[in-house]
């Protein structure tokens, strides 16, 4: 009976362990190009030593959305491991090193697979999954779901030989509660592409290659878990830049998970992305307050060196170290009192043109005393220096005679003085202001001098305005069809003709007012009233025409007079109308001479005939091989609109 009870107890304990099993705390997924269409994929898994053992292998699914029949699977097998990961202080033991330790520990296992892709596609989707995700304070029921990560990339054309970016550090970190934390992961980018790093919501829910990932559910906290400022409880202090540098102040003790998407671009074209999951363990630190200071109210002047002093102090017997990893080119730094309880650094720099208006300098103080639980505090000391840049002025430029151009100077609280060095003084501006509008009629050079800046430096520079002239004189004229005398509501067409302008732009006007939307070389309307004056304004976009703008003479319209009333030499009709180019002209004339003209809609003459008749009645058969369209037939002083249909 005791053996039976023992077996039942063991079974219950095993069942309990499996229910709450966890192991995969973090992971990196990336690939390296081998040759042609062959790639080697790497998956780094970071296993919590307090959870299940690492997987013996990991399935990898390769999907080609360009041709789904080419989808296939592969297996990522163990390549190396286990690798040890230490806390900030390497001498501190984790649970991986000593079962008696209360500090979580992790082991690194690397899996790999070499595959040859069967075809090129601009959107390969490759993912891996494994049981099971580690405990994490910011995820609801974290251990109930699988770990999931993915890659996407384009292997078409020149992108085929690309290798993805990957990180150089381990994505498991130890941070002190309410202490500033920073991690500089270091990214290897062998192809020199542009990259961006952003937060993404971790995914889970995949247990086969046919599965679809779902976002994990975040727990409800205050403030809320939200990207990008609070992926786990940091009181919205989390920051991330494009280099993958992370900073935050951890607010709650325990393990937390964050997911990163690293996107790669080449010549502004997306070529791929990889994923990384990281775990941050926030611990109760041993608290010794470090006081940090830096110089203040420093003004940087171009060409004049300055010094910044950074200091950090702590309790006796602490071990402080200062570093500066990202100094601008040309900066120098000297350290004093390293590995003592009071350290300082003097940074020297000479501002360069273009540094302004503000330049940031960062020195990091590290408390490497290595008090339990082994977290090394980092204190970033920032100093913002205002740079009084030299004056920047507008570039030399070229204008056409008659044009106006604005000249300007900027930066600093300066006193300005413009002067004409040579040329024309025509201007609309202020000679003692930061800007000046000029319209010289010859090539002119202007001098701008500034004085009174905080650095006690006067600046002077010149800007030249070259004036181009031209013998090109554009003209514009307009004509109307059928005539300037029309009935009310009758449609009338106006045609513009230009000379000496290769790039004309038009604006039709009625009574001097622009007609909205009428900007082509013709204007068709039926909305005119008596005495309306129609004209067209020309903007010649050629180089320096003279003048650039011109307006045609206007055509004054007579509207409301019937055409038959103005016909003093006869009355004519054509039939059929519309026709196929064959028609009969009939009518009466008071003159012996009869003149017939036919033009197309833009005024090109297509037919002409003159004859003398002894009778007043005309019956003339006309045969024309015209394309379908609108034409105008003018006989003596009467114009008739004619439509030719398809033959």
Q: Is the pLDDT of residue 293 over 90?
A: no
φ, ψ for residue 500, nearest 5 deg: 60, 35
Give the span between the Cα atoms of 526 and 537, in whole angstroms.
Answer: 20
For residues 527 and 458, membership in a common domain is answered with no
For residues 54 and 183, membership in a common domain is answered with yes
Provide the pLDDT for residue 211.
Answer: 93
Burial call 446-467: b when 16+ CB within 10 Å, e when fewer: bebbbeebebebebeeebebeb
pLDDT tens digits, one per residue of 599-626: 876 667 888 888 877 767 788 898 988 8
Provide the pLDDT for residue 38.
Answer: 96
For residues 460 and 491, membership in a common domain is answered with no
Q: Is the pLDDT of residue 291 over 90?
A: no
Q: Where are the beta strands (DSSP E) in 223-357?
A: 239-240, 246-249, 254-266, 269-283, 291-294, 299-301, 306-313, 320-323, 332-336, 342-349
Q: Is the pLDDT of residue 8 over 50?
A: no
Provide the pLDDT for residue 11.
Answer: 37
* Tokens coding 561: 């007079």
Provide the pLDDT for residue 72.
Answer: 97
With respect to residue 1, please indicate whether it lies within any of the assigned structural domains: no
Q: Is the pLDDT of residue 18 over 50?
A: no
Structural domain tally of the chain?
Answer: 5
User: What is residue 8's three-state secondary structure?
Assistant: helix
Q: Where are the beta strands (DSSP E) in 368-458?
A: 378-388, 392-393, 397-400, 405-410, 415-422, 435-438, 444-451
Q: Mark which of 388, 417, 432 sits at the end of a domain.
A: 388
Q: Mark which of 365, 388, 411 sits at the end of a domain.
A: 388
Q: Is the pLDDT of residue 286 over 70?
A: no
With respect to residue 6, please indicate whether it lies within any of the assigned structural domains: no
With respect to residue 7, please indicate whether it lies within any of the assigned structural domains: no
The better pLDDT of the pair 117, 403 is held by 117
pLDDT tens digits, one per residue of 224-272: 999 999 999 999 999 998 778 898 999 999 999 999 999 999 988 999 9
Q: Mark which of 343, 372, 388 sits at the end of a domain.
A: 388
For residues 38 and 154, membership in a common domain is answered with yes
Provide the pLDDT for residue 315.
Answer: 83
For residues 481 and 611, membership in a common domain is answered with no
Give the span between the Cα atoms of 113 and 75, in whole angstroms.
Answer: 6
Closest CA to 166 of 148, 141, 147, 191: 191
With respect to residue 3, please indicate whether it lies within any of the assigned structural domains: no
The residue written with tokens 């203040």 in the block is: 296
Provide the pLDDT for residue 6.
Answer: 37
With respect to residue 460, please indicate whether it lies within any of the assigned structural domains: yes
* Tokens coding 412: 């600093």
For residues 331 and 383, membership in a common domain is answered with yes
pLDDT tier for residue 565 given thresholds of 50, 70 and 90: very low
pLDDT tens digits, one per residue of 397-441: 988 888 889 898 876 556 888 888 888 777 777 888 888 889 888
For residues 198 and 59, membership in a common domain is answered with yes
With respect to residue 235, please indicate whether it lies within any of the assigned structural domains: yes
Contacts of 467 (CB under 8 A, 6+ apart): 398, 399, 400, 401, 424, 440, 441, 442, 443, 444
- Overall residue count recorded for the chain in this entry: 647
From residue 309, give the alpha-carbon distance in Å to each of 306, 328, 349, 365: 10, 16, 12, 13
For residues 177 and 268, membership in a common domain is answered with yes
Provide the pLDDT for residue 561.
Answer: 44
pLDDT tier for residue 47 given thresholds of 50, 70 and 90: very high
For residues 326 and 314, membership in a common domain is answered with yes
CA angle 134, 136, 141 (to 5 degrees): 85
Give the span between the Cα atoms of 506 and 387, in whole angstroms.
Answer: 50
For position 433, which CATH number holds?
A: 2.60.40.10
For residues 178 and 252, membership in a common domain is answered with yes
Q: Is the pLDDT of residue 567 over 50?
A: no
Give the span between the Cα atoms of 328 and 318, in whole angstroms.
Answer: 30
CB-based contact 223:252 (threshold 8 Å): no
φ, ψ for residue 11, nearest 5 deg: -65, -40
Burial call 306-319: b when 16+ CB within 10 Å, e when fewer: eebbbbbbbeeebb
Contacts of 645 (CB under 8 A, 6+ apart): 578, 579, 580, 628
Chain-centroid distance of CA 457 in Å reads 39
From residue 32, give the alpha-carbon distance in Å to each of 29, 39, 93, 118: 11, 6, 35, 17
User: What is residue 53's three-state secondary structure?
Assistant: coil
On the 0-12 / 13-18 / 19+ scale of CB atoms within 10 A, 4 is: exposed
pLDDT tens digits, one per residue of 509-544: 999 999 999 999 999 998 888 889 999 999 999 888
For residues 225 and 300, membership in a common domain is answered with no
Q: Is the pLDDT of residue 451 over 70?
A: yes
For residues 204 and 91, membership in a common domain is answered with yes
With respect to residue 410, please indicate whether it lies within any of the assigned structural domains: yes
CB-based contact 166:187 (threshold 8 Å): yes
* Helices and strands of the chain, counted as H and E runs: 2, 50
Provide the pLDDT for residue 411.
Answer: 62
The better pLDDT of the pair 156, 459 is held by 156
The residue written with tokens 């100093």 in the block is: 383
For position 597, which CATH number holds?
A: 2.60.40.2550
Percent of the chain predicted with pLDDT > 70: 91
pLDDT tens digits, one per residue of 336-374: 999 999 999 999 999 887 777 788 888 888 888 777 777
With respect to residue 10, please indicate whether it lies within any of the assigned structural domains: no
Q: pTM (2 decimals)?
A: 0.54
| Residue 409 domain boundaries | 392-468
Q: Is the pLDDT of residue 311 over 90?
A: yes
**What mean pLDDT do residues 62-70 have?**
96
- Please provide the average confidence, as pLDDT, over all residues in the chain: 85
């Amino acid at each position: 009976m005791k053996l039976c009870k023992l077996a039942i107890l063991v079974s219950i304990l095993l069942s309990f362990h499996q229910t709450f099993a966890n192991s995969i705390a973090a992971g990196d997924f990336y690939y390296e190009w081998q040759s042609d269409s062959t790639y080697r994929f790497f998956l780094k898994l970071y296993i919590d030593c307090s959870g299940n053992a690492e997987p013996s292998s990991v399935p990898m699914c390769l999907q080609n959305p360009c041709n789904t029949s080419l989808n296939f699977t592969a297996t990522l097998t163990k390549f190396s491991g286990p690798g040890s990961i230490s806390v900030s202080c390497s001498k501190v033991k984790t649970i991986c090193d000593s079962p008696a330790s209360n500090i979580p520990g992790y082991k690194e296992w690397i899996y790999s697979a070499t595959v040859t892709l069967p075809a090129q596609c601009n959107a390969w989707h490759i993912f891996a999954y494994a049981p099971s995700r580690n405990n994490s304070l910011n995820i609801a029921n974290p251990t109930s779901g699988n770990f999931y990560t993915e890659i996407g990339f384009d292997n078409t054309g020149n992108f085929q030989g690309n290798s993805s970016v990957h990180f150089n550090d381990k994505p498991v970190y130890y941070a002190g509660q309410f202490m500033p934390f920073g991690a500089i992961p270091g990214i290897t980018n062998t192809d020199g592409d542009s990259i961006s790093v952003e937060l993404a919501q971790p995914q889970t829910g995949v247990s086969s290659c046919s599965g679809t990932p779902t976002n994990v559910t975040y727990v409800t906290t205050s403030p809320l878990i939200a990207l990008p400022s609070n992926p786990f409880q940091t009181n919205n202090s989390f920051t991330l830049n494009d280099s993958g540098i992370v900073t935050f102040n951890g607010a709650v003790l325990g393990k937390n998970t964050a997911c990163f998407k690293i996107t790669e671009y080449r010549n502004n074209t997306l070529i791929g992305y990889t994923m990384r999951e990281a775990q941050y363990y926030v611990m109760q630190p041993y608290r010794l307050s470090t006081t940090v200071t830096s110089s203040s109210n420093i003004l940087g002047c171009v060409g004049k060196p300055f010094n910044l002093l950074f200091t950090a102090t702590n309790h006796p017997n602490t071990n402080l170290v200062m570093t500066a990893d990202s100094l601008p080119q040309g900066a120098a730094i000297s350290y004093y009192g390293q590995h003592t309880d009071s350290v300082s650094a003097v940074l020297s720099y000479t501002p360069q043109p273009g540094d302004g208006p503000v330049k940031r300098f960062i020195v990091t103080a590290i408390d490497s005393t290595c008090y339990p639980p082994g977290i090394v505090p980092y204190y970033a000391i920032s100093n913002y220096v205002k740079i009084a840049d030299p004056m920047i002025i507008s570039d030399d430029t070229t204008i056409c005679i008659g044009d106006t151009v604005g000249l300007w100077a900027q930066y600093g609280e300066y006193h300005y003085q413009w002067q004409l060095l040579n040329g024309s003084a025509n201007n609309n501006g202020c000679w003692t202001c930061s800007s000046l509008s000029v319209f010289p009629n010859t090539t002119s050079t202007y001098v701008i001098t500034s004085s009174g800046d905080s650095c006690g430096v006067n600046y002077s520079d010149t800007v030249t305005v070259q004036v181009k002239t031209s013998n090109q004189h554009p003209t514009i004229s307009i004509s109307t069809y059928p005539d300037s005398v029309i009935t009310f509501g009758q449609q009338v067409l106006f045609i513009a003709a230009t000379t000496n302008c290769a790039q004309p732009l038009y604006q039709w006007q009625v009574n001097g007012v622009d007609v909205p939307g009428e900007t082509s070389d013709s204007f068709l309307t039926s909305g005119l009233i008596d005495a309306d004056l129609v004209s067209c304004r020309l903007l010649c976009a050629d180089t320096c025409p003279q003048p650039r703008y011109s307006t045609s003479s206007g055509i004054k319209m007579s509207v409301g007079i019937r055409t038959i009333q103005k016909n003093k030499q006869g009355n004519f009709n054509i039939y059929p109308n519309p026709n196929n180019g064959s028609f009969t002209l009939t009518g009466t004339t008071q003159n012996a001479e009869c003149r017939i003209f036919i033009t197309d809609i833009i005024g090109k003459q297509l037919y002409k005939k003159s004859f003398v008749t002894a009778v007043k009645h005309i019956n003339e058969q006309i045969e024309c091989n015209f394309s379908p369209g609108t034409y105008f037939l003018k006989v003596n002083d009467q114009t008739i609109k004619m439509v030719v249909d398809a033959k």
